[in-house]
Amino acid sequence: MDLQLSGKTALVTGSTKGIGLGIARSLAREGANVIVNGRSEASAKAAADQIGNGARWIAADVSTAEGCAVIAEQAGQVDILVNNAGIFEPKPFADIPDEDWERFYQVNVMSAIRLTRALLPGMLERNWGRVIFISSESGIQIPEEMVHYGMTKAAEIALVNGIARTTKGTGVTVNAVLPGPTASEGVTDFVGQLASEAKQTPEEFEKEFFRSVRGTSLLQRFATVEEIADTVAFISSPLASATNGAAVRVDGGVLLATA
Ligand code: NAD
């Protein structure tokens, strides 16, 4: 299937590793002109070099208004915005201090609000564009081990719901993609650490995690980054024009409801 992405410019935030890098790779493979983003010049440049195909890079911290302004200015015209940058950290609810709530909100939510606010008007003017929020199944089934993370992922779904309304009758769509547990760098490092603390191999830990923590998963393993990225590439494409205001699940069946 030709996703018809050649000539489109795609900006993926937080794309120096993990799901973001996977999305940037898939979009570049389909012919899009990709812009990667990370906080340091070295990591952003390394990711762009790895992707090749003329990928550009912008070093900026999406968690600040200044960082988002730098990205919006340096990116120029953007046809596809993927709000991917995000952080997670399990912590008991009673131990989450104000600073963590604030930090999670700035990185996971305000970054997407600021960049969408800056780039959506151009898409509407040109009557074509894609905005994709990388939310999570955790935005619907809030995990008790990281309520603050779940809150930010639910906020992203709410934003998509509202912002999509502003695209009525245009060629612009605004959607959320909801990955389930995925073997990104961030998650793999974290799993390795927990497995060694529990004196388990990563494979034993994965099996136990899907038995006891994400028991509803039908996949019963971590999704690969590519499994998420290819769905995002499709939602980015002109072929997905009838999907707007949706929460597209790539959750391995973790969520119990079918809609
Ligand atoms: P990751 O930790 O592997 O990668 C995150 C990327 O974001 C890195 O490139 C990091 O440098 C970048 N980043 C973080 N803070 C940034 C900032 N302030 N400015 C610029 N870049 C920043 O994470 P991941 O697992 O690939 O997660 C990516 C997205 O997918 C997140 O929004 C996450 O919530 C979502 N998600 C992940 C999973 C999963 O299981 N991995 C599941 C559902 C949703």
H helices of the chain, where? 18-29, 41-51, 65-75, 98-104, 111-126, 147-165, 185-197, 202-208, 225-236
Q: Are 202 and 191 in contact (CB under 8 A)?
A: yes
Class of the domain covering 9-181+224-250: alpha beta
Angle in degrees, 0-180, between the axes of helices 18-29 and 185-197, rounded to the nearest 10: 150
Distance 125 CA to ligand 1 centre (A): 30
pTM comes to: 0.97
Give residue-wise pLDDT tens across range 116-148: 999 999 999 999 999 999 999 999 999 999 999
Contacts of 52 (CB under 8 A, 6+ apart): 28
pLDDT tier at 258, thresholds 50, 70, 90: confident
Q: Which helix (H) or strand (E) element contains residue 198?
A: none
pLDDT tier at 208, thresholds 50, 70, 90: very high
DSSP state of 59: E
Quick check: helix, strand or coil at residue 133? strand
* 257 vs 236, higher pLDDT: 236
Q: Which residues are near ligand 1 (CB < 6 Å)?
A: 14, 16-20, 37-39, 61-63, 84-88, 107, 134, 136, 179, 181-182, 184-187
Residues labelled catalytic:
149
Domain ranges of the chain: 9-181+224-250, 183-222
